[in-house]
Amino acid sequence: GPAGRVLHEDLEAYLAQGQQPQSSAAAAYAQRNDEEQIPVIGMRRKIAQRMQDATQRAAHFSYVEEIDVTAVEELRAHLNEKHGATRGKLTLLPFLVRALVVALRDFPQINARYDDEAQVITRLGAVHVGIATQADIGLMVPGVRHAE
C-alpha cells in the first residue's frame, strides 16, 4: 500500500496463499525465564516514592473526548510563522495548559486537595501546572506556578 502500509487486500492475499508465518527473529532467541533485579536508588528511588505517594494521595481519573483543534492549529501555525524565529516555536502544549487553567477557574472543586487526617478539602486559588517529562537525568516535572 501507500508508504509501505499493509492494506486489508494484502492480508487477504497472504491468507489465500495458505502459508504459515515465518519468524526468524523469534527462532533466533530461546525462551527466557531469568529475572533481573535493579536496585532502586538515587533519583529512581525518589521518582518511585513520589509516584507511589501520588497514587495514594491524589484522585486519579481519565477523561477522553475528541475535539476539533483546527482553529487552534491554524493559530499556532500563524504565530510560529510570525514569531517562531525570534520567540521559539509553539507546540500544542501551551494551548492545552491555557484550556486547563480556564477549566480550573470555572470548576474550582477540581483544583483542591484532601487532607485525610484532618478530613478537610482545601480549594486552592492558585493554579500550579506540572507536566511530567522524561529527561536524560530521569523523570522531571517542570512547573508553571501561578498559571492563572
Residue scoring higher pLDDT (11 or 125): 125
Higher pLDDT, 106 or 13: 106
Q: Which is more confident, 102 or 40?
A: 102
**110 close to 104: Cβ distance less than 8 angstroms:** yes
- pLDDT attached to residue 73: 96
Pairing of β 112-115 and β 120-123? antiparallel
Residue by residue, DSSP assigns 60-121 as ----------HHHHHHHHHHHHHHHHHH----SHHHHHHHHHHHHHH-GGGSEEEETTTTEE
Cell, residue 82:
510570525
Q: Indicate the residue type of 29.
A: Y
Q: pLDDT tens digits, residue range 55-90?
A: 777 777 788 899 999 999 999 999 999 999 999 999
Is residue 118 pLDDT above 80, yes or no?
A: yes
